[in-house]
Amino acid sequence: MKKIIFVAIIFGAFLLSKPLAILAQESTNSGGEAISVSEKCLKEGPCCYLGKYIVTEGVYLDTSTAILDDWYHGCDTRFSSRDFLNFRTNEIFQYFMEQCKAELICPLKAGDKITISGWVESCEDKRPWILVNSVVKAPSE
């Protein structure tokens, strides 16, 4: 158990040191480049980014699994609380991450500025539903 925690801490420290510029340059599975977009633009026009790999910044608030069952039960989405957890920022509530990647957000505290990269999977209800690939704490200024 101690080895797993130690590896998770080392892995988290490595990811937290990765700057936004490198995240933005990472290629996606389809061979395209990540699109850097503000949360405000993403929130106002989510369908413009549907199926795109995006990088954005936000202020981390909290994480939940219950929100998936309580708010979005019956919506046309593939996110379920068995496989995903939901985290939100001060602008967007629909960030979803596979539970096996939960260690990426464990070290975050409310108010931390974070860099998020992932796919915009849906724009149902005019909201961006984002499948998160990585979350890192943004470098302090």
For 69-106, how does the pLDDT look when each residue is reduced to its tens digit (9 = 90+)?
545 545 555 677 778 888 989 888 788 888 888 888 88
Domain count, the chain: 1
Calculate the average pLDDT of the chain.
77
pLDDT the model gives residue 105: 85
Residue 54 has pLDDT above 80, yes or no: yes
Q: What is the CATH number of the domain that holds 67?
A: 2.40.50.140
Structure confidence at residue 122 (pLDDT): 83
Taken in order 74, 120, 51, 132, the sign of the CA dihedral is negative
Q: Is the pLDDT of residue 141 over 60?
A: yes
- Name the more confident of 122 and 69: 122
Three-state secondary structure of 44-106? HCHHHHCCCEEEEEEEEEEEECHHHHHHCCCCCCCCCCCCEEEEEECCCCCEEEEHHHHHHCC
Over residues 23-38, mean pLDDT: 63
Q: Return d(Cα 95, Cα 112) in angstroms, integer.
A: 16
Q: Note down the domain range covering 11.
A: 2-137
Q: Establish how many alpha carbons lie within 13 A of residue 123's alpha carbon, considering only the half-sphere containing its beta carbon.
A: 13
